[in-house]
Amino acid sequence: MNRPARLVTAALTASAALLLTACGSGGGDGSSSSDKIAGADSGDKASASPSVSTSADGIDRPAVKLPSDMKMVFEGRQTGDAVKDAILADNERTVSTVWQAMAYGDLKKSGMAFYYTDNALVGIYQYAKGAIDKKTSWAGTLRYFDRQVTVFDKKSAALTYCVDESKADLKDRETNKLQGTKTTPNSYVFYNLGLKKNKEGVWQTWDLTEDRGSQKCQP
């Protein structure tokens, strides 16, 4: 396995099986419950981090800060539709919590339990824990593009997008050494997410699938 995001991106099938076997970081079978997950207390507003900040929408959110060598570029942030823009903004926060956990090796203060729920939370937790146990992170830039939101009703939606991993690389969290990779068709990944709005107003990811090397995302 020599592509960074085969380890640094979490992927769930519809049955919540984590697609990380190539990296040997373990997977989830969906049988675990969120009460065994660090940072997932109870209720819709799990206390994922003691450090929170109030955003423009009045929601107290876990603070997320990534190291300077871990960058993300999100295209198409403004659609002109307030609901879709809120979904896209929460998605940016959602993926950032996973990278924060990996960067600092801390599940409890990552914020993942604030933005992930149900099968997705179980899979993401197991994925992040596996990476942290291996002291693995990443550096470089991930580009999120062609983000498309479908709103079903006031509390449910779907989001699809592509990720360009060609400028990201695996990093040993202890030595800070990079692995070095080549760009291949598998450097481009298509994601499909199921979302629902909780009582706090947060658009949480409850399910996700990936298609690595998808023709939809090739340059």
Task: Return the CATH number at 180.
Answer: 3.10.450.50
Distance in angstroms (rounded) separating the CA atoms of residues 58 and 147? 25
Residue that wins the pLDDT comparison between 121 and 51: 121
Does 86 score more than 70 pLDDT?
Answer: yes
pTM (2 d.p.): 0.78
Mean pLDDT of 105-113: 93
Give the tokens for residue 216. Answer: 């939809």
Place 157 in a pLDDT band, splitting at 50, 70 and 90: very high
Residue 24 counted as domain residue: no
Burial class (CB in 10 A: 0-12, 13-18, 19+), 42: exposed
Higher pLDDT among residues 34 and 174, named by residue: 174
Residue 19 included in any domain: no
Q: Does a structural domain hold residue 63?
A: yes
Residue 167 included in any domain: yes
Mean pLDDT of the chain: 80
Arithmetic mean of pLDDT, 168-181: 91
Q: How many domains does the chain have?
A: 1
Model confidence at 42: pLDDT above 70: no
Q: What is the largest CA-CA distance in the chain?
A: 47
Report pLDDT for 183: 85
Rounded mean pLDDT, 6-15 = 33
140: left (phi over 0), alpha (psi -120 to 50) or beta: left
Highest-scoring range by mean pLDDT, 34-38, 51-55, 119-123? 119-123
pLDDT interval class at 55 (50, 70, 90): low
Is 41 part of a structural domain of the chain? no
pLDDT at 40 over 90: no
Q: In the structure encoding, which two tokens stand for residue 58, read together?
A: 């009045």
Identify the weakest region by mean pLDDT among 26-40, 46-60, 129-143, 189-203.
26-40
Q: In which band, very low, low, confident or very high, does the pLDDT at 58 lie, cut at 50, 70 and 90?
A: confident
- Is 33 domain-assigned? no
Stretch among 22-36, 75-89, 138-152, 153-167 having the lowest mean pLDDT = 22-36
Checking if the pLDDT of 21 tops 80, the result is no
Q: Tell me which residue range forms the domain holding 185.
A: 5-14+47-217
User: So what's the pLDDT on residue 23?
Assistant: 28
Q: For residues 107 and 39, is the Cβ–Cβ distance under 8 A?
A: yes
